[in-house]
Amino acid sequence: MRPAPLLVVGVLVAALTLASGTPAGADTPPVGTPPVGTVTAGTVTAALPETGTAEPAPTTEPAPTTAEPPDSTESGQTTTDLPLPPLPPPPSPSPVPSPSPSPAPPSAPPTPAPTGTPTARPSGPRPAPVPAPAPRSETAPTRPSRTARSPADDPGRDYYPEVPFDPVTTPTAAQVQAFYAALKRIQVLQNTVSTASTRLADRQKELTAAQAGLNSARRERDAAGRRMFIERAGESPVRLDSPTPLNALGMDDEERDVKTFNRLVRAIAAWQERVGAARTATVLASTELTDARRELVRQQAVAAALRPVVDENARGGLPGGDRGGRLRWPVDGRLSSPFGPRYDPYYHVWQLHAGMDLAAAAGTPIRAAAGGVVTRAGWFGGYGNYTCIAHGMVRGQRLTTCYGHQSRLLVRPGQAVSAGQVIGRVGTTGASTGPHLHFEVRLGGRPVDPRPWL
């Protein structure tokens, strides 16, 4: 007998045994657990996972075959093979190998599924895009505060910045320095006079109020005295202006009129003290004001004497000048405020107005008064957008012109400019109350009157 039929019969018996159940004495699998086995019809199935969390084992594709499955029999009859029960669906794969997007935290949006070749991405939210650099701002974000301290705190305080001064090395520079010192002293004295005037007015008000209180107390005392002595017939009269209390004259302390009279006598004494103190303070304030005014007149005379000497510097030719050695007008505008000490309309204190104001419409071109090199261009405190141009030396001193409160700067430090070149636009930046050009002429850094130079 050939061994092939016996081998086929054995295989069929084993297949039927597995399909019908487990042998006696074997453990019964849980309900719902699919049978585990191997099909020899060309398909190999691995063992299913025992739990829903395990990862399914890889399976191989069935090999193609044309052979029909062999018949199996249990009692000698030939029958077809019973179909295997269907396999349950595989458990849900873990998020790691799944190509679907994993749930993102609530604070971050879900990440879309990658397509094509996956690339490494940084974890966490995407960085914010870097904004493009903003253009250079020509104006400050805010204006200077108009709230100035009282001139009494520091009458010589400068609310506008000053450029550096050159050392005094020539007689002409000494004259300019003396002129500048006289102007600054006038500024201090003007604030002192203003403060002393306010103080004197306050002291006079206090004296007037104290005098009124004293007169009122005297009238009330006289009325109380008349009521007492007129109603008391036969009583010897006493002087109403006597500071002596009535109980010392034998009157009854418990009477209402007597108490009122004594109270008024004490009030009059207190008012007299207040009147004396207010009168003394008024005299001191008046003396301070008189001294400040006298010194102010003297310093004004000193500045007036030095002014023509300083203005003489403009008589000669100017390096880079125009029109016969003079500076050209920087803007076509109206003179609204001259050079010298003035009551500042912005800070409401006396300041040295270091230039002249030329009122013009906003945006009017500003032209260089002479050729030179830009030494400063930018924000400069109360001057707002401020430009300075150096024009060379005049009688041993550095000559510069400066332009303030511009709405726009059109030059930069180190740039060479020619006479009449547009360097900016009229504006109202900084401590300004309206569109205008603040124009300065400086010798050695010290301001002088621009009018003789134009």
Query: What's the pLDDT tens digit per position in 222-272?
Result: 888 777 766 554 455 555 555 555 454 444 544 677 788 888 899 999 999
Distance, CA of 314 to CA of 168 (rounded, Å)? 19
Tokens matching residue 436 = 């205008």
Q: How many CB atoms lie within 10 A of CB 417?
A: 21
Instruction: Label residue 69 by pLDDT band (50, 70, 90).
Output: very low
Please give the pLDDT value at position 259: 80
pLDDT for 310 beyond 70: yes
**Mean of pLDDT over the chain:** 74
Instruction: Label residue 137 by pLDDT band (50, 70, 90).
Output: very low
- The CA-based diameter of the chain, rounded to the nearest angstrom, is 178
Long-range contacts of 135-139 (CB under 8 A, 24+ apart): 138/385, 138/406, 138/407, 138/408, 138/409, 139/379, 139/384, 139/385, 139/407, 139/427, 139/429
DSSP, collapsed to helix, strand or coil, labels residue 387 as strand
CB 186 within 8 A of CB 299: yes
pTM of the model: 0.61
Distance, CA of 380 to CA of 409 (rounded, Å)? 12
- Mean pLDDT score, 279-298: 95
pLDDT for 215 beyond 70: yes
Q: What angle do CA 172, 177, 178 make, to 5 degrees?
A: 100
The per-residue pLDDT for range 7-19, each reduced to its tens digit, is 555 656 565 655 5
16 or 430: whose pLDDT is higher?
430
The residue count for the chain: 454
pLDDT for 135 beyond 60: no
Please give the pLDDT value at position 142: 61
Please give the pLDDT value at position 15: 59
Instruction: Label residue 54 by pLDDT band (50, 70, 90).
Output: very low
pLDDT for 403 beyond 60: yes
Which of 124-138, 323-337, 398-412 shows the lowest per-residue confidence on average (mean pLDDT)? 124-138
Please give the pLDDT value at position 405: 97
